[in-house]
Amino acid sequence: MNKSLLVLLLVLIVSGSMTSCRKYEEGPNISLRTKRARVTNNWKIESAQVDGIEKSFDPYWAKQKHYMYSDGKYIVTIIDPVTLEARNVQGT
């Protein structure tokens, strides 16, 4: 009886931890890749909202690109909203 109660308690704890809050909204609970490896990629903005209004079709947002490298460096292409000229911002 005592052993079956312990097994039941263990099953409840494991099942409760699998359905609890996750650290990231999108993505797996468990990943073999590091945080840096998951972020490393070329990104573009698909959707942007300012005060609840969709702005992703605005040239300022539509042409922005984000490049994140595995060594921690990044390049962001930013569009000036007045002149619509692109410039790159680099950092780590």
User: What pLDDT digit, counting tens, does each position of 28-50 carry?
Assistant: 667 788 878 888 888 887 888 88
Of 53 and 30, the one with more pLDDT: 53
- What is the chain's mean pLDDT, rounded? 79
> Is 75 within a domain?
yes
Q: How many structural domains are present in the chain?
A: 1
Residue 17 has what pLDDT?
64
pLDDT over 70 (residue 64): yes
SS3 16: helix
Domain that holds residue 75: 35-92
Beta strands in 1-92 (DSSP E): 41-44, 49-50, 53-54, 65-68, 74-79, 86-91
| Residue 91 β-bridge partners | 74
Cα 35 to Cα 41: distance, rounded to the nearest angstrom? 12
Residue 72 has what pLDDT?
87
Cα 11 to Cα 23: distance, rounded to the nearest angstrom? 22
Residue 81 has what pLDDT?
72
- In this structure, the number of other CB atoms found within 10 A of the CB of residue 82 comes to 7
